[in-house]
Amino acid sequence: MYALRQYSIPLLLAVIMHVGAVWTLYRGWNPEKELQNVVMPNAVVARLLVLDAKQPKVDLAAIERAKAATAAKKAAQDKAARDAAAKEKAAQDKAQLALEERAEKEKAAQDRRSQENARKERERLERMARLSDLAESSMQDAIALENAEMQSGSEAAVVQSYHAAIYDLVRRNWSRPPSARTGMSVRVQVELIPTGEVIAVTIIDSSGSTAFDRSAEHAVRRATRFDVPQENKLFEAHFRRFYILFQPEDLLR
């Protein structure tokens, strides 16, 4: 009871406030009164409003792409033009180089022809000089040649006589072995000193028979010494070293 007395006044005030709110709502919601207060116009006044169209949105990325494409196309065209110019210049340089090389080759060929002609002219002049010299000394040469032939003939006769004496002595000293057969032959080299003494006998071409080869070697060595020309020139040319061929049929040089 104490609580009721304590809160009676606030409770009363709250009830009054709620009743007032409900009354106010009720009074404001009357539809008939609202309809009576509405004034119906006799005509409708309309006004045409022209609205500005919205500006389209600018696509900056598309613009940049278009600019990039245009720049790329121009760069490609410039590059193609530069490449074409470079190719044309390279072709011109190549043609110029070919012309220069051909000119150098022609000049080198002309120089070679000039050198060859000069060489032939020198040779012609040299031949003419030699012919002139020969013409001047032809008589002397003919005389000298005739003398040389005569001397050579006499020397040949002297050499032949000494060789014949040597072969005859060797033939007498040669004792043919029983194994000697027709067709066999041995060639020996004989070396002498200016006094005619034998210093070496060498088998050059063997007969294939040791007995036959040794018999030929012994036939030379038995002679010990041969008669040779006293003139040193003849000795050195024909008797310092010479060859003898032994065959069963006969002794041949």
Q: Under a CB-based contact definition with an 8 Å cutoff, are residues 150 and 211 in contact?
A: no
The CA radius of gyration of the chain, in Å to the nearest whole number, is 73
Task: Please determine, for residue 138, whether its predicted confidence score (pLDDT) is greater than 60.
Answer: no
Exposed, middle or buried by CB within 10 Å (0-12, 13-18, 19+), for 228?
buried
Angle at 233 between CA 191 and CA 220, to 5 degrees: 20
Lowest mean pLDDT of 3-7, 179-183, 220-224, name the range: 3-7
Structure token pair of residue 178: 């029983």
Helix 210-223 × helix 60-173 angle, to 10°: 60
Domain annotation for the chain: domains and CATH numbers:
76-253 (3.30.1150.10)
pLDDT at 148: 46
- From the list 182, 173, 178, 165, the residue with the least C-alpha distance to 238 is 165
pTM above 0.75, yes or no: no
Lowest mean pLDDT of 37-41, 92-96, 104-108, name the range: 37-41
CA 17 to chain centroid? 121
